[in-house]
Amino acid sequence: MSEDMTFLPRDEVLSLEECARLVKVFVNLGVTKVRITGGEPLVRKNALWLFQEIGQLDNLNELVLTTNGSQLEKQAKNLKQAGVKRINISLDSLNPARFKAITRTGELDKVLKGIDAAKAAGFDQIKLNSVLMQGFNEHEAFDLVDFAIQQQIDIAFIEEMPLGHVAHNRENTYISNTSTLQLLTSKYSLIPSTHTSGGPARYWQRADSKTKIGFISPHSHNFCESCNRVRITCKGELYLCLGQEDKIDLMPLLRNHPNDDQPLIQAIINSMAIKPKGHDFDLQRAKPAVVRFMSHTGG
Ligand code: SF4
């Protein structure tokens, strides 16, 4: 369910050059996988330049993108040439009216054309990210899986996370991946897959299909133990955990030391000491685990 969008004053947002500089510092510190996510990263002017800059970094194994798919029809080929390896596309409904209601601004048709464009551009690792919610799209699990199988792409079901204040009661809308898997095995004969994308998803597969069905289950199968992720917002805030408020502000270090990365490097190394062990998500709690929305840090 999307939230009201407010745009930050330009000087409160990292420039693309600052984003590229930050990523280079992280890669030089040993980071091998970078995911660009949002909000919607492809609506940023000249975003492609950032992908091209990051895509050519030595020592970076994977540049991946999470997108709402609305710009893919235009950008898929360029992103492929820039070195993007995998694309995750948020898709919670195949019903145009329900899709619009859930995304508030989105056009389903644009996203479907975006998926076609990504396949035509040669992306062979495309995954749908779907959040099932009671009272919204709980009856679309089969349709979404059938669509993924028909398109020969992957799909991951993500349990709703209590990030940000929303108009609905998450305790009522929450659907566990345990019940989604149970539902899916009533129609498909699924076997556990050894596939991993290096992320928290656990995959299952039909023996006769290329499609992998993933489950990202922060509530029912907590995966914080093996977490090796941090997130940087467009404001240069380094969040050590999606589910906690612990952060380091890197923008002053970028701007006060334009030609010296040492203060930045030291701050990043020090920040690892405060990386939380995990989230405290509790859907019974009225107030969200963290006030900021998922789009503030990206998934
Ligand atoms: S909630 Fe925090 S610790 Fe757990 S997987 Fe996500 S980022 Fe890592």
Residue 4: the pLDDT is 56
The CB of 243 under 6 Å from ligand 1? The reply is yes
The CB of 16 under 6 Å from ligand 1? The reply is no
Residue 1: the pLDDT is 45
Query: E strand or H helix at 155, and its extent?
Result: strand 154-158
Higher pLDDT, 229 or 3: 229
Q: How far is residue 287's CA from residue 290's CA, in Å, rounded to a whole number?
A: 8
Q: How far is residue 88's CA from residue 66's CA, in Å, rounded to a whole number?
A: 5
Mean pLDDT of the chain: 92
Q: How far is residue 180's CA from residue 72's CA, in Å, rounded to a whole number?
A: 29
Over the stretch 101-153, which tens digit does the pLDDT of each residue have? 999 878 999 999 999 999 999 999 999 999 999 999 999 999 999 999 999 99
Over the stretch 70-97, which tens digit does the pLDDT of each residue have? 999 999 999 999 999 999 999 999 999 9
Q: Where are the domains of the chain?
A: 1-29+230-299
CA of 108 to the centre of ligand 1 (A): 30
Measuring from atom 5 of ligand 1, which residue has the nearest CA?
A: 224
The CB of 278 under 6 Å from ligand 1? The reply is yes
Over the stretch 11-24, which tens digit does the pLDDT of each residue have? 999 999 999 999 99
The CB of 296 under 6 Å from ligand 1? The reply is no
Is the separation of the CB atoms in 269 and 7 below 8 Å?
no
Over the stretch 204-244, which tens digit does the pLDDT of each residue have? 999 889 999 999 999 887 888 889 999 999 999 999 999 89
The CB of 279 under 6 Å from ligand 1? The reply is yes
CA of 282 to the centre of ligand 1 (A): 14
CA of 39 to the centre of ligand 1 (A): 19
Measuring from atom 3 of ligand 1, which residue has the nearest CA?
A: 278
Count CA atoms closer than 13 A to 142's CA, side-chain side. Answer: 8
The CB of 49 under 6 Å from ligand 1? The reply is no
Nearest ligand 1 atom, CA 228? 8
Q: How large is the greatest C-alpha to C-alpha distance in the chain, in angstroms?
A: 59
Higher pLDDT, 25 or 104: 25
The CB of 263 under 6 Å from ligand 1? The reply is no
The CB of 224 under 6 Å from ligand 1? The reply is yes
Q: Is the pTM of this model over 0.85?
A: yes
Contacts 24+ apart (CB under 8 A), 290-294: 290/162, 290/163, 290/164, 290/243, 290/244, 290/245, 291/164, 291/165, 291/245, 292/163, 292/164, 293/3, 293/163, 293/164, 294/161, 294/163, 294/164, 294/242
When pLDDT is averaged across residues 35-49 and rounded to a whole number, the result is 94
